Structures are given as C-alpha cells and as structure tokens.
Amino acid sequence: MNPRPENPDYAASCDRFRVEFPEELPISRHVDEIKKAWESSPVIIVGGDTGSGKTTQLPKIALALGYGRRGRIGCTQPRRIAASAMSRRVAQELGCEPGTGVGYQVRFDDRTTKSTVLKFMTDGILLAETRNDRSLRQYEVLIIDEAHERSLNIDFLLGYLKNLLPHRPDLKVAISSATLDTQEFSRFFNDAPVIAIEGRTYPVEDVFMPPEYDEELSAQIARAAEFVTSLDPQGDILVFLPGEREIRDATDVLTGRRLRNTEVLPLFGRLSAADQQKVFNPGGQRRIVLATNVAETSVTIPRIRFVIDSGLARIKRFNPRTQIEELQVESISQASARQRRGRCGRIADGVCVHLYSEEDLERSAPYTDPEIKRTGLAGVILQMAALGLPRITHFPFINPPPPAAVREGLRTLEDLRALDPAGRLTREGWKLAELPIDPHLGKMLAFAEKRRVLPELLVIAAYLSIQDPQERPLEKQQAADEAHRRYRDKKSDFVTILNLWNAIQQECPSNRQLRVFARRNFYNFNRLLEWRNLAADLADAAADLKWSGAKLPKLLENPPYDQVHQSILAGIPRHIARYMPEEQHYLGTGARKFLIFPGSGLFKAKPAPEWLMSFALVETSRLFARQNAAIRPDYLEQAAPHLCTRIYDQPYWDAESGFVYARERLTFGGLLIHNGRRVLYSKSHPAEAREIFIREALATGSVIIPKTWIEKSAHVLESLALLEEKVRRPGTILDPEAVVEHYLTLLPEGIDSVKSLKELIRNDSQDYSITPQDAMQEQFRQWEEGDYPDALAFSGQSFRLRYSFTPGEPEDGLTLYVPSDQLNLLPGHALDWLVPGYLPEKVELMIRALPKPVRQAAGPIAETVAAFCEAVKSGAVFSEQPLAAALAEYLRDNLGEPVAPADFDNVRLPEYLTMKLAELNRNGKIVQLHREIPASVQQGSRLSRAVAGAKNYTAAGCTAWPGLKPLPFEVELPNGNGKTAYPALCDEGESIGQALYLKESEARMNHRKGIIRLFKLENAAQLKFFKRTIRFSRQAELSWFLNYRDYADDLLDTAIAAAFESDLWEIRDGLAFGIGAEHAKQELGCFVDRMVKQLEGYYANYQLGRDLAKRIKAQCPESAADMKRHLDFLFRNRFLKSDFVFEDYPRYLRGVKIRAERAAGAPGRDETKLDAISDYLDRFHLAAESVPELTDKPLLHDFWRLTEECRLAVFAPEVPLGERAPLKKLDKAWEELRF
C-alpha cells in the first residue's frame, strides 16, 4: 500500500489525460515489458535508438501504471530546447494544453502549475531542487533522458538517486538513452533490468573513405560530397565537422565547386538564430548542412538522406595540471559514430560516408568520456557540500572523476575560501552555494559586495555565465567586428561588458528594441535577453543574502577600475600572468605560456600590458586567453592574500624605529608579485624577531633607556667592549652569546622592539640587567685601570683618549683629542709615551731595532723592558722628555752601551703604537689628524707646571718682572735622576711669563723674547714713535718688504736687544732688567737708524748676486737656482727676527758677490763646489719649510748659521769665517738636530 495520499490536483489532471501508445513507434511494442519491469524494480534501464519514442512514451507508461496521482512524474533533458519541445509534444498526445497537466521548467522560464503532473526540465533544474527538497518528495517518478551524454549534471543526478532510493522506496526511476552502456548502468543500480528497443530506421549503407596522401579535410569532404552526388543529386547531406573553422574552410571549398542546385548551410553554436533556423526550413534546393556535434542528439534536421562523418569533434577537457579547459580536436567514440550514422535512414534508405577507415573506428573508444572525467569539479564539490552529501571521493559516481581533477576542484574551492582544510563549507562557501552560478563567479560577487562594486559584478558575472552573444555572419564579418568595436575598452574586456550593458540599458527599454539592437549590432537576441534576466536573477539572489548594493541601477557610470578588477580576480586568482617581452608571450601561474585571443580588446595593444588577468584559457591551435584586462600585480594581494607565498629574508633591527624588519617578497604560482618591501618581522616570525631584537639591540647595548636597567646593562657591555679595544683582544672578553642567552631566558615573550621593551619597563619593576661577570667569556686577568686611562693630563688639563682596534687602518691604536686652542699646552713628547699598557711593547720594538751588540747586552729583552717600565712608574726614569732620550739614557746607565736618542730614528712601529693627535674645532669636530705635535705649537723642552719642582719657576700673565728673587741659570729637578732645567722668561703676547726648559738653547731664546716683550710693555708710546720713523728705499721695500708687513716690529725687537748692550741671558732679576732697559731707552734711536742704514747697504750686493745668477742660468742652471734660493732665504719673510742679520750678513753678502763673479767666469767649477754641500742644503731647506718661524727652533737656526759658514768656506774662502772648520761639523750637527 502506498503511504502517500493522492494529490487532488494531480489526480484531476491524470483523469483528463488520454493515454495511448502509437503503434508506429517501436517502443509501443515493449510497453507491457516495461510495465512489468518497472513494477518489480525501482529502476529500469531503457536503451533505444533515435526515433524509438523513449522520450515521449516513457512518461505515458508511468501514467498507465497509475503513477502521477500522488507525486509528479519528472523527465530531465540535457537541453532547454528539448525540454520545451518534448513538453509540447507530450501535452498534444495526452490531449491537454501545454503548461497545465504537462509543463516544463528551464532557467528563467517556469511553465508549470500546481496541477502539472508531467514536468519536463533540464537536469540542472532537478539538481537545483535537491537543495530545498532533499528527498525529491514532489516526484513519484523520475525519468533521466539522454543519459548517454553523461554530462556532469546527469552523473551527479544518477549518483544522488542511487543514494536516495534506499530512503525513497516509493520512488520509480527510468534511465533512458539512445546509445548507452546498459550493463554498466545496470550494475550501478544493483543489476536493474534492461529493456532494449530497436530504432525506426531504413537501411543505411556504410562507406569508408579514408583520406588520401596529404589530403586536406575540406578537400576530403568535397570528394565525399561528389561521391554522394553521383548516387543521388537530390538528397540532402549532413556533414559532421569538429568546429567553426573547419566549417568555414569546407564552405569555401564546396561553394567553389559550384554544385548544381545545391545550398551550403553552416550549423554551429555561435551561429545566429536566424541562420540556424534555415537548417530546419528546407527549400527547393538540395542542402549540404555543415554541422558540429550539436546535430548528433536532441536536434533533428529534416530531410537528411546522407551523412558524411569526419570522425572528429572538438571536445572540451579540463587539464587539472595546467588548469586549462582545452578544446581539442579528437577522434570520436564508437557511440558518437553510431549517433551520427543514425541521422540518416529516417526517411529512406541512407548512406553514411566515414572519412576514416573501418580499422580506425574499431580502435576508437566505445563511448565518449563522461564530462566528470574531463571537467573542473569545483562547482560539483561545492554543491555536494551544500547538500550535505558525502565527500566527492566517497560519492557513488558511475565513473569516479580522476583524483587529479578532484584535487584541483578542492584546491579551487580552498583558493576561493569556500572550503576549510577539513572539506567543510566556510561562511563564504555557504554564500557561494546559495548563488545560482559557478563558484568562481560567486566569489567575484561576494568580494564585490565588500568592495562596493556589486552592481558592476552582477552584470559581469551574468555575462560570463552565458554563451558569447557576439555573432559574426560569414558574409558580414567586417561589419560585425566594427559594430562590436564600438563598445570595446582598450584596457579591459570586462569594462567592454559594462559598456555594452550601458548601451542596452539606454537604447533597449523593451524586448522589441533589444531585438532590433541585437540585429543591428550583430548580437544574439536570446543570449542578450538571457544576460539581462540572469543579472536580475543574481541581484535577487544577492538581495536574499541581504548584500548591500544588490540592486541594478539603470546605468553603471564610472566604474572604479581597481575595485572591479580586484573583485574579478578574487574569483580567478590563478588567472594572472606577466608579459615576457623577449619571448612576446604571457607567462602565467604554473609556467603556462599563452597569447591574447584575437577577439580581445587588448589584442595587439601597444605597449602590451605588463600584467594580465584572463577569465579563461582555451587551447585550440595555440593557448589563448579570453576576456582579459590589464591589472597591477598588487591586485592579487587584495583579492587573494591567502594564496600569496610570502618569502622573508634579510631580517634586521632598525635602530631608528626600534623595530625588527625584514624584506618581504610575494610570489604566486611561480610569478614574482612584489620584489621586496620592508615589513615588521614580528608579525610573521615572532620568535625569530624577538631573538634578533635581543641579539642586535639588547646584547649589543644599542638600546639605552635612561634611568632603567637597560642603561645599566648598556654600561656593562660598553665597558667590556672598551676593555677589549684597550687591550687589543677583540672577542675575547665580552661573551655576546652569554648576553643573548641571558635575555632569551629572562625576558618574557613578545619583547621584540623598543616599544614592547618600554611597555615591559612600565609594567614590570624587575631588574633584568646583566652583571659584568655574567657577560664575560672568562675572568680577565688582573689589570690596573691606570694602564689604560681614558684621558691624559698635560699642563693641568685633561685630554680624552680613544682606543681603536682597526688593524691596517690609519686610526688604529690611540688617538688624543685636543682642541685647537689648547694644542700649545702639549709638551713635545706628549705622543711618545703612549699609555702604560702599550709602553712595554713599544719599548721592546725600540730595543730590538738597536745594533746587535746592544741587543745582546740588553738580553733578556723582556726583562730589560719590564725593568725600564717599572723605573718609569717609580719615577726613577724622568719621563718629561722624549721617550727615545729617556730610553737611551737608561740603557747607557744600566748597560754601559753608547746609545743615543738618534739610534731609535729608524725603528718601525706598527700603527697602533703611534699615538695620533686629533685637533678639534670649537664644535668638537676633528679638523685635522696629526701624527706628531704640530711644529707651530710645539713647546719644545718646556716643562709643564705639573712636573715636580717646576711650580716655583712657573708664572703667567705678568706685566712686570715676575718675583723678587733672581732667576737661577739652572736648577736640578727633584726625582729627575739628576736632570737639569733652565728657568727663563717667556713672551705671552700681551704679558710675560716664566717657565722651565730642559734645553738651554730654548731657554735662552725664550728669555730673550720675554725681556724684549717686557721692555715693549713698559715703553709702548716711545716704540710707537720709533716705528713711524723706520723708512727704506723704494727698491729695498719692493725687493724685501712687499709681503713683509711687520718688518718694523721685527727691526725694533732686534734693535731693543742690541740696545741693552749686554747678553740678555745674563739679566736674571728685576734690578738688572731696569738698568739695562734704561740704557736701551736712551740708545734705541741710534740703533734703529744704524740698522736701517746697514740694511740699505746690503742691497747692492743682493742685486748683483741676483743679476749674475740670471746671467749664468743657461750655462749652470743648478748653480743659478742655488744662488737664487740662497738670496731668497737671506731676505725671506721675518728675516729681521734673526739677531745675526746685522752681525754676519756683511760677510755672507760679500761671499755671495765673490761666488757670483767667479761663477760667471767659470760656471762648471761652481757646480762642482756646490756638490760638496748640496745634500745638507737641501735637507736644511726641507726642514725650514716645515716650521713657521726659524728663530723659534734654536737648533735649526744654529744649523742654518753653520750652512752659511760652509758656503763661505767653499765658494769664498778669502772671507773670514765665524766658525773654524765648519764642513767637518755638518754631520754631527744634523744628527743632533734629529729633524
């Protein structure tokens, strides 16, 4: 007993039906057999050839069995046109109006009522109904027709029904097909009964006509057509070809043959409806219909007697490896060959010409691969998940899809974030499942809603869901192209879609106007209407999801390019590519290479877009990208950030910002999306960022937060690092890894920046600092802090020291920092002694540079060095002198070896044992780096006030004689090991001072200057008068004083010294100075006049010498140059500072005159004489050029005086000498000079 009660509406319709079975239909002879099988089994398999009546009679057999009174009888068709046509045909046979008891439902067209019993529909409609009616309760019988096509929907329905039948024992199912592997289906449905029905056909003769050698397909078709024409010139011919291009080629060839009374008609999917209709309305001429496999099933072309089968078809296959739907020409299956053969022999005897061999047919596959084996499975998997069905790997498909395709489908949904890793629908996935479109397009809509461009994407997604509405009639291709070009956008085919939409919205408020627009602009009216309906349907679906912007405005003006294309890319994230200019193709994800399809608005764009997004890749003769747009690669990061692979490298701590950064590069599918940008490393690698921060910031002491444990730790690290620099043992004291480990262990997680560190300090009072002991590699040996001082003191001032361990660099070692205005406080030996920690190494190298006998006497050298350094530390060695002098004296006293300071002149020291002097400006910036005390500020042997015993003889800022006690000529320094010093006055500019000098010559020079300065301070008015009286002849002024502006001051100084008429060194107290000064005041005018006259008298010999030097220049260039250099030096700037200008210049100038006269007569002999002393003269002049004022260097001044005596001895021996045998004294004098 059937548990379901009758439905009154259905029962009333059934009572009105007139159920009859036409005798001429082959199926009518099997009605009883079918009834019996169906009553005993829930599923029957009906296999019958085309024309057997399966589609129209199976629903009537179900009615005859009493079905349809409690539930509907559903019949699925693979195509909409078949569903509507069969509905009308069966309604006519049952004697009712279409849309009442018998109706149909296709997308956007529902012709059923509540009384509709027999419902024809597409398989997609039934599949959609499973979402809301999981058990399909409205149906009592389901008939799956044309199952041999094995579309994705058909396979899914069959598997769904297999699972449903155990839960719906009252449901009856019939599977029908023209060509079907009935046994496979029977096994799938638990050995369901099979009923085979013969077709209603006339005999068909098979002719096999394989291609001749190198024969084109179009020529082969023409040959076959001529063969058929020879049999019957009147019978219509149906030719099966693989695609539109082959149809056009064949059209050209057949038209060129000019067959009599013959019309050539194409039939393919993209053909306009009007052109298609010509095929179904035969005229008076014979027809040759050139068709694709659309004519195999569902569509019956009238008046066909002959079939020419190329044996080829374009089959769409999805390659899961390349993600490409490939439309390739393949050999057809045996089942397709039977279907094509069955198109003839329906009205009379027929002939089927096979353009291949019989052996080729036997080798071909029995059946065409089911669509599930050659398509992407993302939409199927999404719907299965929404229906709560088992995962696709467990679903009962007749032919399970390939594992690679399943993986690709799952990956696609994961790309769209529709599935989680466990295969469950995400929130996004549920939204996509509720939309009546492909999940790729659904994702576009979902993303567009967030980007506020949903209306634009509703239009675009609807367009991408339909077949291309563009038409290109063979005879009007150029006109069609021009019409389509009006809406084309140069950057984006998707904007082209919006342009077309706006044009339709403006020009076509009614369907009639839309039809006119479509005809005028070469578009398919039905597809445009479908587009508009689908866009509205999608808007309703979005509104049901309560999405904002789910209403379609009349016009879509100024669509935001970035947001629109980011939304599109969200649905097809792997369809991105970069242009390769050298290869002139695009490189997509997975290393796919392709070109832009010629029908795209971007085809041949100049320049080619660097980055491209393509809706689909289709392989025909080559791999082409359809529906393209120029994009930026960063769109992908907005649309699908989860798919981007982020590669992080080059992490580092940035001291300026306080954060750890890294370079982030984005790649996707083998494409470099972003070549590098700075990002916070802690967001992706928190543990690594924390360690880098600790290692590079805390463990190095680079971060200092005042008055916190951070500052204390930084001081510890700084002191240990400085100690390494000082002792020149880098990396041996501070243990960086111990510091890192200390902080890694103690600091909480999340401390990876200065900001987080400050927050820790603000909220946590714990002291995390490190102690010196914990930060050291080893307990460093005991050392005295005084061995490596941070500063050195001279003249009561402290000067900073810097230690640097940079071997091979100029700054390696010690550098003393001294302001420019304090350089004069440094003694001449300030750089010699380094620091106590470095002194032993320097002394050892100095000793090792001595001759071998001395080195042997000093052995063991290490002990001698230690003893010397200890003597320096105890004060036994006087250190207020050059190190070379102190060491030479020590070795003489302790070894008895004749060591002189000059013996150390050639010692080669490493850079770090040479102390550098950094001269600083007022802002503390280094203006110059010296390797010795500048000669201009050297104090020579002047002792600092800090030296023991010097304080009593040191004074400054005096304008009268300092002190009452007479100055001794010399004093012995306490703790100076018998050292003698010489007290003297000194000139301080606006005052005088008093100091001690180690060298008597320096003391005498400075004492002379000090007395002159004191006299000038006391007699300023008188000296001002005398200065105005000093005048020289014009020739003397031009020759000597043109650039010598203060010559009058220097002349007065010399005159003052002479006017005292006593050795100024002998003046040791204020009384003696007063007596001498009174005498000088009386005699000063006479001395000035006398000196001016004496200088004027020098001019004659001076000029004679210059003239003669010029005369011999050509013959004796060396002699001429030396004479000129000699005269220039005698009368150099500041020459009047020398006290022997007036004592010895008469002799020198006489010698100049004699030499010049002799050289003029015998120039060669003069050069020979010059060779004897030229080396010493050159040395002297080099030394003199290095000092600002010769008279400030007594020893160098004395050496000059000696060279003048040598000149007289060599060139003018008749002139009396001021010193005996001067030539023999040159060597010794130069050695003592040590310049």
C-alpha distances in Å from residue 1170, one per residue of 261, 1209, 1217: 129, 11, 18
Q: At what angle do helices 54-64 and 80-94 cross, to 10 degrees?
A: 50
- State residue 278's pLDDT score: 83
Length, in residues, of the chain: 1235
Q: How far is residue 910 CA from its own chain's centroid? A: 44
Model pLDDT for residues 371-426, shown as the tens digit of each residue = 877 777 888 788 778 877 778 888 898 888 878 878 888 888 998 999 888 888 99
**Alpha-carbon gap, residue 78 to 367, rounded angstroms:** 18
For residue 779, what pLDDT is reported?
A: 55
Tokens of 759: 């927050």
552 three-state secondary structure: coil
Q: Count CB neighbours of 529 within 10 A.
A: 18
684 vs 268, residue with greater confidence: 684
pLDDT digits (tens, 9 = 90+) for 134-178: 899 999 999 999 888 888 789 889 999 999 999 999 999 999 987
Q: Which residues contact 780 (CB under 8 A, 6 or more apart)?
A: 723, 733
Q: What is the DSSP string of 507-521?
A: H-SSHHHHHHHHHHH
Angle formed by the axes of helices 561-571 and 439-451, nearest 10° = 150
Distance CA 331, CA 309 (A): 11
Confidence of residue 761 (pLDDT cuts 50, 70, 90): very high
pLDDT at 1: 41
Give CA 677 to chain center in angstroms: 5
Average pLDDT over residues 839-867: 90
Phi, psi for 792 (deg, rounded to 5)? -120, 145
Residue 525 CB contacts under 8 Å (≥ 6 apart), including other chains: 273, 514, 515, 518, 519
Residue corresponding to tokens 């690679």: 404
- The torsion angles phi and psi of 800, rounded to 5 degrees, stand at -70, 145
Rounded CA separation 559/500 (Å) = 13
pLDDT score recorded for residue 238: 95
What is the pLDDT, as a whole number, of residue 936?
A: 62
- Give how far the C-alpha of residue 1102 lies from the chain's centroid of Cα atoms, to the nearest Å: 76
For the cut 50, the answer to whether the pLDDT of residue 321 exceeds it is: no
Round to whole Å and give the CA distance between 354 and 336. Answer: 12
**What is the token pair recorded at 64?**
């005859």
The gap from C-alpha 1127 to its chain's centroid, in whole angstroms, comes to 70
Instruction: Determine which helix (DSSP H) or strand (DSSP E) holds 1106, and give its type and residue range.
Output: helix 1070-1111
In sequence order, what are the residues at sequence separation of 6 or more whose Cβ sits closer than 8 angstroms to the Cβ of residue 1008?
1057, 1064, 1065
In this prediction, residue 760 has a pLDDT band, given cuts at 50, 70 and 90, of: very high
Q: Any residues with CB less than 8 A from the CB of 488 and at least 6 apart, and which?
A: 496, 499, 601
Q: Taking all residues of the chain, what is their mean pLDDT, rounded to a whole number?
A: 87
For the stretch 592-618, pLDDT in tens is 899 999 889 999 888 999 999 999 888
Task: Say what the pLDDT of residue 781 is.
Answer: 47
Both tokens assigned to 472: 């290109």
pLDDT, tens only, 808-818? 888 899 999 99
Please tell me the distance from the alpha carbon of residue 868 to that of residue 865, in angstroms, as a whole number: 5
Least confident window among 638-652, 778-792, 1041-1055:
778-792
Residue 18 reports pLDDT greater than 80: yes
Q: Identify which of 81, 23, 84, 82 has the alpha carbon closest to the alpha carbon of residue 57.
A: 23
Name the nearest CA neighbour of 631 among 477, 492, 829, 430: 492
Q: So what's the pLDDT on residue 1084? A: 86
Predicted confidence at residue 810, as pLDDT, reads 85
Alpha carbons 195 and 45: distance in angstroms, whole number: 6
DSSP string, 246-282: HHHHHHHHHHHHT-TTEEEEEE-TTS-HHHHHHHTS-
Confidence of residue 320 (pLDDT cuts 50, 70, 90): low
Residue 95 has pLDDT above 70, yes or no: yes
Decide if 401 contacts 377 (C-beta within 8 A). yes
User: Once rounded to an integer, what is the mean pLDDT over residues 968-986?
Assistant: 82
Tell me, what's the pLDDT at 322?
Answer: 42
Q: Classify burial at 859, counting beta carbons within 10 Å of its beta carbon; exposed 0-12, middle 13-18, buried 19 or more.
A: exposed
pLDDT tens figures, 225-253: 999 999 999 899 999 998 887 898 899 99
**Confidence (pLDDT) at 326:** 58
- pLDDT of 838 strictly over 50: yes
**Whether residue 14 has pLDDT greater than 90:** yes
Q: Which two tokens stand for residue 1231?
A: 């050695």
Question: 533 - beta bridge partners?
Answer: none
Cβ-count burial of 1181 within 10 angstroms (0-12 exposed, 13-18 middle, 19+ buried)?
middle
Tokens of 88: 């009308």
The pLDDT value recorded for residue 1010 is 94
11: number of Cβ within 10 Å: 16
The closest of 298, 304, 309, 286 to 343, measured between CA atoms, is 304
Q: What tens digit of pLDDT does each residue of 1012-1039 get? A: 999 999 998 888 888 888 888 888 888 8
Encode pLDDT of 512-526 as tens digits: 899 899 999 999 887
- Whether the bond between 860 and the residue before it is cis, its omega within 30 degrees of 0, is yes
Which H or E element spans position 1026? helix 1020-1029
Q: pLDDT class for 661, splitting at 50, 70, 90?
A: very high
CA–CA distance, 135 with 126 (Å, rounded to integer) = 12
Place of tokens 């499942």: 433
- Taking residue 685's Cβ as centre, other Cβ atoms within 10 Å add up to 17
Q: Residue 407: CB partners within 8 Å, gap ≥ 6?
A: 320
Residues 940 and 923: their CA atoms lie apart, in Å, by: 28
* pLDDT level of residue 904 (50, 70, 90 thresholds): confident
**Any idea which residue has 């992407």 for tokens?**
376
Least confident of 774-783, 886-895, 1064-1073: 774-783
CB neighbours of residue 1182 within 10 Å: 10
Closest C-alpha among 888, 901, 902 to residue 858: 888
